[in-house]
Structure 1
Amino acid sequence: MSAVKPLEAVARDRVGKGAARAVRRQGQIPAVIYGGGQAPQAIAIDLIRTRTLIYAGGFKTTVFEIDAGGRKTRVIPRDFQLDPVSGVPIHVDFLRVVAGQAIAVEVPVHFLNEDKAPGIKQKGGTLNIVLHTLSVEVAPDAIPDAIEIDLSGRDIGDTIHITDVKLPAGVTYTGEATDTVANIVPPTVLGAEVEAEEAAIAEAASAESAAEKAEGEGEAGEDKTEA
């Protein structure tokens, strides 16, 4: 479980597009804290700090303690927006964390021991990941950093369903019990097909080059004869 991280903020008394643009010009990001039976609170957070947290990974499964002018609130990021061109964060939504209340989060899946899976190591199969994250409900103070799945002994044709996954205590999967997390598929012949196609292209290019060279030599010979 990730530790609670502090995050400095300032309260905003103005909202709207104009106010948001003014916040961004000051090197901050407009954000909102909502939920918990309280009115939404408009805040601004540091751009560089937020960008670092987002791109470090695990942002939406981390509980933060936001300090806005001495008023501390525990929250979890619910959503964020990035500029479509620059990738810079432009807005963040935070959900208040209420003690004793489970929340819905997406937890990443980590696969372990691929080198101990005969279908991958010895037979050249490929791990086909269907679910990169799992939708779960869990107490805010028990959110796992990741859900680990051991591939030891897995062979080609094996399918890993959600029922095969050992979830940490207090974590409940919110999807269907029949959901497939991953499977191991046979090696493809795509590589051989690509190599054959590249060889054919190279052969055609070589033949074309030879024909052009021969044609050029023929024209040169005709020129000498006419001379």
Structure 2
Amino acid sequence: MAGEIPDLHAQVRTGTGKGAARQARRDGMVPGIVFGGDVDPLPINIPFNALLKQLKAGRFKSTLFNLKVEGHDDVRVICRDVQRDVVKDLPTHLDLMRLRRTSKINLFIPVEFLNEEEAPGIKKGGVLTVVRPEVELMVTAGDIPEKITIDLADMEIGDTATISMVDLPQGAKPTIDRDFVIANISAPSGLRAAEDEEDGEETAADEVPATEQDEDEN
């Protein structure tokens, strides 16, 4: 299971319709609705500043939240829509969907790299370049992995770690079909510069006109 599912605090919104929503906004709240899960929809208000902070953190729509509403059991939800003011681009309403344990959802799961100090490429001065610190997976809501791991113990300079090398948790699969790169071990900057210089010299030699080569031979 994921180590930490963030809490999202809300209040029950009394009243419905545009008037209640406008009053909520005047009170520094963002109105919303929680639906799904074979339970009646629940109108809520979420503090504007708290919601804005979550939105600025990124990936709000692909983050699983533990919704806490006073007087109601905690429930896992995922955002299905955030409506914004067309001028100010600030949130004005949001839709949250309750999830069953068997629900399939897309989430970004962090990647942990093991045995970095043991990697032959690192010992030779290579540099670990992380292309994707997180990988988006389709997972089951009741069995969300805390992380996925990649063992670097046998990686040399120039080697890459791709998603096909990862033992994914049961029931999880990438949202991207192709075998994409997660990280690689690249050559040290000094070695890369030397190789680039050698390549440049070889290219220059290849580009010498034939007439000049003939003169040198004579």
TM-score range, shorter chain: 0.5 to 0.7
Matches within 5 A, 1:157-176: 157-176=158-177
What amino acid is aligned across from residue 172 of structure 1 in structure 2? K
Asked whether 1:110 is paired with 2:112, we answer yes
SS in 1 for 2:157: coil
Shift of residue 36, structure 1, vs aligned partner: 4.0
Unpaired runs of 5+ residues, structure 1, are 193-227
1:41–1:163 CA distance, 2 compared to 1 (3 A)? same
Counterpart in the other structure of 1:153: 154
Counterpart in the other structure of 1:204: none
What amino acid is aligned across from residue 109 of structure 1 in structure 2? V
Counterpart in the other structure of 1:142: 143
Unpaired runs of 5+ residues, structure 2, are 194-218
Matches within 5 A, 1:190-209: none
Give the aligned length.
Answer: 188
**Structure number, greater radius of gyration:** 1
SS in 2 for 1:142: coil
* Contact 1:58-1:145 at 8 Å conserved across structures: no
Counterpart in the other structure of 2:47: 46
Shift of residue 34, structure 1, vs aligned partner: 3.6
Shift of residue 97, structure 1, vs aligned partner: 0.6
Q: What is the TM-score normalised by the length of structure 2?
A: 0.62
Shift of residue 15, structure 1, vs aligned partner: 5.4
| Alpha-carbon distance in structure 2 between the residues aligned to 1:142 and 1:27 | 36
1:87–1:2 CA distance, 2 compared to 1 (3 A)? farther
Asked whether 1:64 is paired with 2:57, we answer no
Deviations 1:32-54 (A, max 9, x none): 32444667544212345556767
Asked whether 1:119 is paired with 2:133, we answer no
Higher helix share: 1
Pairwise CA RMSD: 4.1
1:44–1:142 CA distance, 2 compared to 1 (3 A)? same
Give % identity. 32
Counterpart in the other structure of 2:187: 186
Counterpart in the other structure of 1:201: none
Q: What is the TM-score normalised by the length of structure 1?
A: 0.60
Shift of residue 158, structure 1, vs aligned partner: 0.9
